[in-house]
Chain A
Amino acid sequence: MVTGLKDEDLKKVYTVTYKPNAKYGYSAGQAYSVFLQGLKDGKILGRRCNKCGRVYVPPRMYCEYCFRPTDEWIEVKDEGIVMTAVASFISWTRERLETPEIVGVIRLYPSRDNDFVYPGLFHRICTTYEKVKDMSIIGKKVKAVWKPKEQRVGSINDIECFKEVE
């Protein structure tokens, strides 16, 4: 029968500790390279499949439904609808955060309310914990808050967050 250990038991048993030191260089490829440059220029770029009309944001060079190359670059609006939003009180290493970080999914325009698939971004949302808690932020229209042009580097973080449009 296997033996359960408590945290403090780890000091009593033999352990081997190893720190991985893996560094990666991910190629952004054809679609993301252009997308990242677009962000640097203050634009959100997507790819459209002219067969089914779907717009991919983040962009893809192929349509995963029609399984053919997407046809053209289009600039989508930096505005959209909050589909979901959450407030995180823990960091990615599970440390406690005093002020919650609010993130969610934004369905960007052009798109329609009943679309199952749409151009969408996962990003921070500048709003209050209360509006997340009572779900009132979900369904609201938001717009990207861009970093100043000189601070943009071609990263998803060139957008500070999406903020409610009054």
Chain B
Amino acid sequence: MSGMKPNIYFNKRVAVVGAGLTLFRRRIWETPQEMSWEAARKALDEAGLELKDIDCVVIGSAPDAFDGIHMKGEYLSHGAGGIRKMVSRVFVGGATGVMTPIAGWYHVASGLCSKVLVVAEEKMSPGRPHPQAVFKYIWDPITEKPLNPNLIWIFAMEMHRYMKAYNIKKEDIALVSVKNKNNAIDNPYAQIPAKITVEDVLKSEVLVWPVQLLDISPVSDGAAAMVLVGEDQARQLTDTPVWIEGVGWTLDSTGWPGRDLAYPRYLEHAARMAYKMAGIERPYKEIDVVEPYDPFDYKELHHLEGLMIAKRGEAPKLLKEGVFDRNGDIPSSPSGGLLGVGNPIAAAGLMKTISIYWQLKGTAGKMQVKKPVHTGVAQAWGDLMQASTVIVMRN
């Protein structure tokens, strides 16, 4: 990963001009296609465009085995507005939700398309007895799966390594869950907004120590969509375009038992790529609002460190000081994050990107952060603790 040399000279500047979300819920009656359609329709409406205006469609969705439909990209395509258009589907595990707008970005930045519809969907509810049964198939079938793992194990292992390496306490981590679930109260799409205390988190059911029930995001169904256009189009469509100014993504080794888990170096590499492109030199000073991926509460802290917004092991301290509150210096997960809004995998990452877009546009409603914002970052993470995707936006 050391020799990374992204070409930062691209053909066109890319703007976000519309976005849409469905409600995030534990179980949605509508089909995955219909969920995609609702999100895509809302995004087109916000952009003031019709499907005929769109050149390319990028679909993001995590393993087919969640919805229980193989070739999910193809299955979703007519609900995602893909018929008779250039359609592709991207998948990088949990990092897919931010990879989807990144893929949309390079469709436009390269000059290939001028207007792209980006749609992410996940339906976790069909699998029985529990989506956990599906997650078992992400492990190495020979050296890992025979131990009967469940997904929470790896994250619990990473969390404990992080806690041990930097001497971090559970109650400090629990504050993330308290903050995000509380932020979600102002998010009309949220599945589990709540006013809770650190005490509630520490008393909740122990799933895989150190992970407890309230440390973790729920199982969700949901969809999200976004419209990206080139600079020339953006000026015609809106007075307030939000620009995608940097993108970055990296994958580390699948051999996670053979590398240190205390620090997410895969994220640092992705962030460095995105910051270089966006001209960010001091992330902790230049980033006004951030949506780090928070399927687990410790993950938000871990990612704030990988994003170099906090020093290694110091994110909990800043959290305690209120830096990451909605009214703080660097509001983090003002949407309520996955912990409060829900975690339909690919759609959750795109929801975070949309949250930053709405913040920068000033249309986040009750979620709007107090301080004026100019630069925002959304990030997602996935696979066996190895993939990270970062997007930098400015108004």
Query: Are chains A and B touching in the complex at the 8 Å CB cutoff?
Result: yes
Where the two chains meet, the residues of A that have a C-beta atom closer than 8 Å to any C-beta of B are 1-7, 9-10, 13, 18, 20, 24, 26, 28, 32, 35-36, 56-58, 60, 64, 83-94, 100, 103-106, 115-124, 129, 132-133, 135, 138-139, 155-157
A100→B261 CA distance, assembly (Å): 23
Some 27 contacts from A to B, beta carbons below 8 A apart, are: A1-B23, A4-B26, A4-B28, A5-B25, A5-B28, A9-B29, A10-B27, A18-B68, A58-B140, A58-B142, A60-B255, A64-B255, A84-B157, A86-B210, A88-B208, A89-B205, A92-B149, A93-B129, A100-B209, A103-B147, A120-B255, A120-B258, A123-B147, A135-B163, A156-B142, A156-B143, A157-B147
- Which single residue of chain A is at the shortest CB-CB distance from B130? A94
Is B156 positioned at the interface, with any CB of A under 8 Å from its CB?
yes
Number of A-B residue pairs, CB cutoff 8 Å, is 165
Surface stretch bound by A, among B30-38, B88-96, B358-366 = B30-38
Q: Which residues of A contact B140 (CB under 8 A)?
A: 58
Do the beta carbons of B150 and A116 come within 8 Å of each other? no
- Which single residue of chain A is at the shortest CB-CB distance from B161? A84
Is B279 positioned at the interface, with any CB of A under 8 Å from its CB?
no
Is B67 positioned at the interface, with any CB of A under 8 Å from its CB?
no
- Which single residue of chain B is at the shortest CB-CB distance from A7? B27
- Which single residue of chain A is at the shortest CB-CB distance from B208? A88
B198-217 to A contact mask, C-beta < 8 Å, 1/0: 00000001111111000000
- Which single residue of chain B is at the shortest CB-CB distance from A29? B142
The 3 closest A-B pairs by CB, nearest first: A4-B25, A86-B156, A120-B257
- Which single residue of chain A is at the shortest CB-CB distance from B34? A2
Which listed residue (B30, B129, B133, B142) contacts A26, Cβ 8 A? B142
- Which single residue of chain A is at the shortest CB-CB distance from B30? A2
Tell me, rounded to whole Å, the shortest Cβ–Cβ distance linking B25 to chain A: 4
Which residues of chain B in 258-272 are interfacial with respect to chain A, using CB atoms and an 8 Å cutoff? Answer: 258-261, 265
Tell me, rounded to whole Å, the shortest Cβ–Cβ distance linking A83 to chain B: 6
A98→B6 CA distance, assembly (Å): 51
Do the beta carbons of A105 and B150 come within 8 Å of each other? no
| Contacts known (A4-B28, A105-B157); A89 close to B261, Cβ less than 8 A | no
Do the beta carbons of B144 and A122 come within 8 Å of each other? yes
The number of chain B residues with a CB under 8 A from chain A is 53
Do the beta carbons of B208 and A92 come within 8 Å of each other? no
Q: Which of B38, B129, B142, B163 has the most CB of A within 10 A?
A: B142
A148→B211 CA distance, assembly (Å): 34
Tell me, rounded to whole Å, the shortest Cβ–Cβ distance linking A121 to chain B: 6
- Which single residue of chain B is at the shortest CB-CB distance from A19? B128
| Contacts known (A83-B261, A157-B147); A89 close to B208, Cβ less than 8 A | yes
Tell me, rounded to whole Å, the shortest Cβ–Cβ distance linking B254 to chain A: 9
Which listed residue (B38, B142, B257, B260) contacts A36, Cβ 8 A? B142
Is B7 positioned at the interface, with any CB of A under 8 Å from its CB?
no
A129→B22 CA distance, assembly (Å): 42
Q: Which residues of A contact B253 (CB under 8 A)?
A: 64, 117
Do the beta carbons of B28 and A90 come within 8 Å of each other? no
Tell me, rounded to whole Å, the shortest Cβ–Cβ distance linking A93 to chain B: 5
Is B75 positioned at the interface, with any CB of A under 8 Å from its CB?
no
| Contacts known (A105-B257, A135-B164, A155-B146); A2 close to B157, Cβ less than 8 A | no
Do the beta carbons of A122 and B147 come within 8 Å of each other? yes
- Which single residue of chain A is at the shortest CB-CB distance from B154? A122
Do the beta carbons of A56 and B142 come within 8 Å of each other? no
Tell me, rounded to whole Å, the shortest Cβ–Cβ distance linking B14 to chain A: 29
Q: Which of A84, A85, A116, A123 has the most CB of B within 10 A?
A: A84
| Contacts known (A103-B147, A122-B143, A129-B209); A3 close to B29, Cβ less than 8 A | yes
| Contacts known (A2-B22, A84-B160, A105-B157); A57 close to B152, Cβ less than 8 A | no
A7→B157 CA distance, assembly (Å): 31
Is B132 positioned at the interface, with any CB of A under 8 Å from its CB?
yes
A4→B35 CA distance, assembly (Å): 11
Q: Knowing that A2-B28, A103-B149 are A-B contacts, what are 14 other residue pairs whose CB atoms are under 8 Å apart, sorted by A's residue number?
A: A2-B25, A9-B27, A10-B27, A20-B68, A36-B142, A56-B258, A84-B161, A89-B205, A89-B207, A90-B152, A92-B149, A122-B147, A135-B163, A157-B147
Tell me, rounded to whole Å, the shortest Cβ–Cβ distance linking B257 to chain A: 4
A85→B265 CA distance, assembly (Å): 21
